[in-house]
């Protein structure tokens, strides 16, 4: 039997909700299920406004529009992240400026941010890797000193928090992903969290193709028209109906993932003690969501051998990311500030273990094979 790296979890209520959306006859966006999801997100995160989008990528593009970036403006971000973190800003003509990550959480190293700021810097993007919070207090303080926006790429961070504050709700804007590889899913899907109230009206306009349609439906204006830049970032009700089933189970899904995560963590403690690997680090002030269980092996050769051994045993593991600063597009469209030593090293040594609801009955075998592969 092959044990996959990921298997999308379904609660069993998704199709029932979709049937209801179908029966309601409202299939475009902003129907009953979209409102339930937006309301749940606002209540959970405390965001001033939550808006469902097609993806986290779409939500990031909205933040780039809201930031009113001009060609040549700079946005500081980690290089160790998914391409959308950078692409969204490059689409507006901005330049991603990559800084290195912390060796413990693999999040942007906040002590390197200030030196990367220039007269063109407009925003800092904090990516909460593996659902573990960046050092937000330090990042907010830097942004305040230099008049910069703080955008949280919380794609991996639904249900996680930093000093009790939900991730995605701390910066001016935050983005979430409901892609099937994340914890709470709708296939493709995402949300924009508008925390700074001044962006709320424009965010609605951007999402509705640059029109004031949302205000029109609330009776605030008597006709709707093109008022600003925008695009179609609004998912249909079928997606929202699916997502609502997941949101209702979000607490339980997170708890079950945390149990799987803890099991890995305990079993790999001894191997860490004998220097064969390094386990994830969760700072005391962060509460994570078990988005990912990764191991850091000593070097590239050992990671390759480890993954091949597991593959031969029918256990699929994956690694990521090709650092953005060294990718073909990243070299052309962005620039690195500093030597990126940690980023490069981690990208060669990190391996992600299978983590999905239903793995419970196979996890012992995965762990046993992994420990054997470590030698």
Interface with ligand PLP by CB under 6 A: which residues?
55-57, 81-82, 84-85, 127, 153, 155-156, 177, 179, 190
Smallest separation, CB 274 to ligand PLP (Å): 31
Smallest separation, CB 155 to ligand PLP (Å): 3
Instruction: Rank residues 84 and 202 by Cβ distance to ligand PLP and give the closer one.
Output: 84
Smallest separation, CB 70 to ligand PLP (Å): 24
CA dihedral 214, 219, 221, 226 (to 10 degrees): 20
Name which of 53, 134, 342, 200 is nearest 124 in CA terms. 134
Q: How many helices (H) and strands (E) does the chain have?
A: 15, 13
Instruction: Rank residues 56 and 95 by Cβ distance to ligand PLP and give the closer one.
Output: 56
Q: Which two tokens stand for residue 323?
A: 């650092």
Distance CA 116, CA 96 (A): 11
Q: Determine the 3-state secondary structure of 157 from DSSP.
A: coil
Assess contact for 56 and 84: CB atoms under 8 A. Answer: yes
Instruction: Rank residues 53 and 212 by Cβ distance to ligand PLP and give the closer one.
Output: 53
Smallest separation, CB 151 to ligand PLP (Å): 11
Place of tokens 């109230």: 197
**Residue-by-residue DSSP string for 111-138:** GGHHHH--TTEEEEEEE-GGG----HHH
Smallest separation, CB 182 to ligand PLP (Å): 6
Instruction: Rank residues 174 and 230 by Cβ distance to ligand PLP and give the closer one.
Output: 174
Instruction: Rank residues 168 and 190 by Cβ distance to ligand PLP and give the closer one.
Output: 190
Smallest separation, CB 58 to ligand PLP (Å): 7
Q: Determine the 3-state secondary structure of 192 from DSSP.
A: strand
Beta bridge partners of 97: 76, 335
Instruction: Rank residues 81 and 343 by Cβ distance to ligand PLP and give the closer one.
Output: 81
Smallest separation, CB 152 to ligand PLP (Å): 10
Assess contact for 186 and 239: CB atoms under 8 A. Answer: yes
Name which of 266, 256, 272 is nearest 355 in CA terms. 256
Phi-psi region of 131 (alpha: psi -120 to 50; beta: other; left: phi over 0): left
Instruction: Rank residues 100 and 153 by Cβ distance to ligand PLP and give the closer one.
Output: 153
Instruction: Rank residues 179 and 278 by Cβ distance to ligand PLP and give the closer one.
Output: 179
CB-count exposure of residue 16 (10 Å: 0-12, 13-18, 19+):
exposed
Smallest separation, CB 370 to ligand PLP (Å): 23
Helix axes 32-45, 14-24, angle to 10 degrees: 130
């Amino acid at each position: 039997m092959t044990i996959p790296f990921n298997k999308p979890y379904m609660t069993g209520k998704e199709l029932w909700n979709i049937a209801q959306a179908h029966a309601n006859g409202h299939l475009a966006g902003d129907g009953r299920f979209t409102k339930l999801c937006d309301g749940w997100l606002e209540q959970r995160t405390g965001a001033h406004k939550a808006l469902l989008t097609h993806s986290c990528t779409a939500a990031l593009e909205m933040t780039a529009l809201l930031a009113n970036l001009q060609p040549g403006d700079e946005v500081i971000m980690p290089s160790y992240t998914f391409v959308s973190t950078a692409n969204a800003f490059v689409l507006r003509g901005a330049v991603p400026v990559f800084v290195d990550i912390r060796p413990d959480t693999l999040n942007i190293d906040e002590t390197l941010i200030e030196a990367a700021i220039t007269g063109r810097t407009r925003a800092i993007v904090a990516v909460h890797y593996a659902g573990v919070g960046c050092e937000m207090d330090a990042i907010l303080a830097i942004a305040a000193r230099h008049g910069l926006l703080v955008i949280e790429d919380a794609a991996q961070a639904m249900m996680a928090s930093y000093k009790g504050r939900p991730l995605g709700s701390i910066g001016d804007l935050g983005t979430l992903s409901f892609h099937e590889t994340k914890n709470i899913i709708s296939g493709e899907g995402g949300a924009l969290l508008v925390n700074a109230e001044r962006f709320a009206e424009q965010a609605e306009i951007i999402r509705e193709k640059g029109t004031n349609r949302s205000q029109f439906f609330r009776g605030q204006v008597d006709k709707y028209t093109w008022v600003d830049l925008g695009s179609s970032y609004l998912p249909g009700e079928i997606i929202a109906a699916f997502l609502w089933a997941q949101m209702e189970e979000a607490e339980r899904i997170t708890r079950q993932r945390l149990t799987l995560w803890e099991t890995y963590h305990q079993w790999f403690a001894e191997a860490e003690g004998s220097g064969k690997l390094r386990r994830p680090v969760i700072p005391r002030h962060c509460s994570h969501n078990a988005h990912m269980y990764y191991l850091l092996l000593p070097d590239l050769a050992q990671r390759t051998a480890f993954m091949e051994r597991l593959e031969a045993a029918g256990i699929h593991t994956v690694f990521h990311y090709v650092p953005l600063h060294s990718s073909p597009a990243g070299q052309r469209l962005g620039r690195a500030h500093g030597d990126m030593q940690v980023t490069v090293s981690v990208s060669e040594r990190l391996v992600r273990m299978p983590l999905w609801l239903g793995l419970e009955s196979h996890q012992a075998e995965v762990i046993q094979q992994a420990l054997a592969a470590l030698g």
